[in-house]
Structure 1
Amino acid sequence: MAKIWAKAPSPCIGVCKFRDEGRCLGCQMTKPEKKRFKRLKGKAERRPFFLMLRERLEARDRWNYWSRMYRRRCLKKGADCPLDKLEGAEREARAA
């Protein structure tokens, strides 16, 4: 299952307009974060990155749009979507 994280496509959804305090309107990443994502390895580094990004997107009320577009991107690339793992862990934490 860790391969899901290692093979996760970039969170970029192809909007790439940097207006919100230097953050992309589509994914809320900064230019340095977009470059950094490529160097992140496996679950230990990528999962926290996605968690940080989710918080940022939720704060801007953009999570629903972004997650829909990101799932579409994963599907096009034939990659398992790591968002399923994030949401599954969240449901388990609520149930406990």
Structure 2
Amino acid sequence: MAKTPSPCIDVCKFKRQGHCIGCSMTKAQKSMFKQLKKEKHREAFVQMLIGQQSRLGKFRHWAPQYLRKCLKKKVKPIAEVRDAA
């Protein structure tokens, strides 16, 4: 099975108190995700990110874009992403 892809949707503009306007990750979080090797850790990170987006607001565009990325990479997205889309 392929690994859960990065939550980054290739916007990468850090304007909201250091959070990317595309995915809500900070630069430190982007680096941290790259270091995660175990699938369960990558999935937990995406779940945490969905909660963070919910708290910050204005990230409705992320879930549909991330679903497309998962489809392109032939990875089944976690349920929380499907629910958010």
TM-score band, normalised by shorter chain: 0.7 to 0.9
Query: What SS is found at the alignment partner of 2:15?
Result: strand
TM-score by length of 2: 0.80
> After superposition, where does 1:76-91 map in structure 2 within 5 Å?
76-82=72-78, 84=79, 86=80
In 1, the alpha carbon distance for the partners of 2:61 and 2:81 equals: 16
Q: 1:17 aligns to what?
A: 13
RMSD: 2.1
In 2, the alpha carbon distance for the partners of 1:24 and 1:54 equals: 13
Percent identity (aligned): 42
Q: Deviations along 1:36-87, whole A, 9 cap, x unmatched?
A: 10111221x223312221111112131x3110000011112222222x2x36
2:63 to 60, 67, 81: 67
Aligned length: 81
- Structure 1 or 2, whichever has the larger Rg, is 1
1:58 to 38, 54, 75: 54
Q: Which has the higher helix share?
A: 1
